[in-house]
Amino acid sequence: MTASAEFVTQITRVQRQLHAFILSMVWNATEADDVLQQTNLVLWEKSAEFDASRPFLPWAMQFAQWQALAWLKQRQRQRLVFDDDLAKLLADEAVADERAFEARRNALASCLQKLGPEQRELIARRYEPEASVNALAAAGGVTAKALSDRLRRIRHALLECIQRTIAEEAFS
């Protein structure tokens, strides 16, 4: 894969996280879209400076933070404006939240692999678009209540596994 192809892969992979991060600072989805586009332009301009041996998301979030702060400065004449210290605090908290989210996502992936094949398949089918408990129950020849109970037990087991995994990683 070429350097630019790798960069496109990386930037594409983090779009949702960048948008959520920007939205936490600007609080307006339309404006967050605009700030994200501006961030993407700056990232592309700075792509040669990216060190591929380091994580991409924190690097990209730094540019997103700068773009969001620039947007906030431009909007200072509006009634509700955050000072730079508050904006920085919000950005720092969003970065910390992103690390926690990533830890939970990795723990979920690990815990899903620990489920049996039938349980994994059931969870995957349940969360497909347009899937419903009633349709899955009918296809499986069980009642909706029985299927709901089974899904609840699987989700509970996943939650316990995720909590245990994160706790173990915190102490290692």
Residue 97 lies in a domain: no
Boundary (domain end) residue, out of 34, 59, 91: 91
pLDDT in tens, 29-41: 888 899 999 999 9
Residue 107 lies in a domain: no
Give the CATH number for residue 129.
1.10.10
HEC sequence for the chain: CCHHHHHHHHHHHCHHHHHHHHHHHHCCHHHHHHHHHHHHHHHHHCHHHCCCCCCHHHHHHHHHHHHHHHHHHHCCCCCCCCCHHHHHHHHHHHHHHHHHHHHHHHHHHHHHHHCCHHHHHHHHHHCCCCCCHHHHHHHHCCCHHHHHHHHHHHHHHHHHHHHHHHHHHHCC
pLDDT in tens, 79-116: 555 566 776 777 777 666 677 777 888 888 899 899 99
Look at 74 and 123; give whichever has higher pLDDT.
123
Residue 98 lies in a domain: no
Residue 8 has pLDDT above 70, yes or no: yes
Give the CATH number for residue 15.
1.10.1740
Examine the domain organization and report whether 8 and 86 are in the same domain. yes
Number of domains in the chain: 2
Residue 102 lies in a domain: no
Examine the domain organization and report whether 121 and 79 are in the same domain. no
Residues, the chain, total? 172
Examine the domain organization and report whether 8 and 84 are in the same domain. yes
Residue 2 has pLDDT above 80, yes or no: no
Examine the domain organization and report whether 55 and 124 are in the same domain. no
- What is the pLDDT at residue 116? 92
Residue 110 lies in a domain: no
Q: How confident is the model at residue 44 (pLDDT cuts 50, 70, 90)?
A: very high
Residue 3 has pLDDT above 80, yes or no: no
pLDDT in tens, 59-82: 998 899 999 888 888 776 555 555
Residue 152 has pLDDT above 90, yes or no: yes
Residue 156 has pLDDT above 90, yes or no: yes
- Domain coverage including residue 13: 1-91
- What is the pLDDT at residue 145? 95
Q: If you average pLDDT over each of 2-6, 104-108, 118-122, which comes out highest?
A: 118-122
Examine the domain organization and report whether 83 and 8 are in the same domain. yes
- What is the pLDDT at residue 74? 79
Boundary (domain end) residue, out of 76, 91, 106: 91
Examine the domain organization and report whether 57 and 141 are in the same domain. no
